[in-house]
Structure 1
Amino acid sequence: MVHDFTLVYALDSGVGSQEDVLRQLANSDCADATVGWGRPGHVGLAFSREASDRDAAVKLATVQMAQALPGAVLVRVAAA
């Protein structure tokens, strides 16, 4: 089953520019996410992932994000 959800992260001050963040995401397992910018210092990622349940899809995405953007803090999870 496909699960749609959004993860919003507060970025570490040393993460670099938006281009740096996009580059890190493009080189990660989160390259399938749609990236959105809103509040300064934050990034939102919309996912549509196949998994047995939504919790499993969210958990995998958060693990992958921790690897892609070390120091980023998850501030919101929203189901679509």
Structure 2
Amino acid sequence: MEYIFTLKYQLSEQDCDPDALVERLGAAGCDDALVGVGQPGRLALEFSREADSAVEAVRTALADVKSAVPTARLIEASPDLVGLTDVADVVGISRQAMRKLMLAHRSTFPMPVHEGSASIWHLAEVLDWLKTRGGYRIDSGMLEAARVVLEVNVTKEAIRHPVSGQNNTELLTA
């Protein structure tokens, strides 16, 4: 199956030559990605990777990038953090219809990651919720990729911001 996902990185000073970067990425197996280097010090790769599972697709892409650019630091994997408009686009309904669903089912609709004038959700959680309701066009590859990149992002943040001396679960239940 083909999985589409994006990996965004922060580059070190020595990895800022776009031509050399593209060559190294291609040689490392990232020839199935569109490479974006428009923002100085940043790298974005939109993969369209064939694999037996989304886990395999994302894991091999992460490894390929690491072998080509060992000093690059992962910023974000997507599709993960989305607004209602993004979700509506994915499932083929209007933003207004998506908002009505959220408001009508506040008790069961997934909790946002950030709530404010522009609220943000994890795509995988909203797609899972919609799938259980039925009647929505949910691409299985997109859902599987969204679940995997959610796990990648959560793991990355847990490593980046460890809570010393405590189990992270204890913080939420204290």
| TM-score when normalising by structure 2 | 0.43
Answering whether residue 63 of structure 2 is matched by residue 63 of structure 1, we say yes
Structure 1: state its 5+ residue gaps: none
Partner of 1:51: 51
Q: How far did 1:68 drift?
A: 0.7
SS of 2:15's partner is coil
Structure 1 residue runs of 4+, over 2 Å off?
none
CA separation in 2, counterparts of 1:3 and 1:78? 11
The residue type equivalent to 2:13 in the other structure is S
Q: CA deviation at 1:28?
A: 1.8
Residue aligning to 1:77: 77
Q: Bigger relative contact order, structure 1 or 2, given CA contacts below 8 A and separation 6+?
A: 1
Aligned position for 1:39: 39
Aligned equivalents of 2:11, 2:21: Cα separation in 1: 9
Higher strand share: 1
Please identify the structure whose Cα radius of gyration is greater.
Answer: 2
Identity across the alignment (%): 35
Instruction: Name the residue aligned to 2:145.
Output: none
Matched, 1:18 2:18: yes
Displacement of 1:27 in angstroms is: 1.9
More helix by share: 2
Query: Per-residue CA shift, 1:17-69, capped at 9, x if unaligned?
Result: 11121121122211221111233200100111122221221111001110011
The amino acid that maps onto 1:19 is: D
- Aligned residue pairs total 80
Q: Distance in 2 between matches of 1:3 and 1:9?
A: 19
**Is contact 2:16-2:40 (8 Å) kept?**
no
Root-mean-square deviation over aligned CA pairs: 1.5
Q: How far apart in 2 are the matches of 1:8 and 1:58?
A: 13
Change in 2 beyond 3 A, CA 1:31/1:5: same
Q: Distance in 2 between matches of 1:54 and 1:43?
A: 21
Q: Distance in 2 between matches of 1:22 and 1:60?
A: 17
In terms of mean alpha carbon deviation, does 47-56 or 3-12 score higher? 47-56
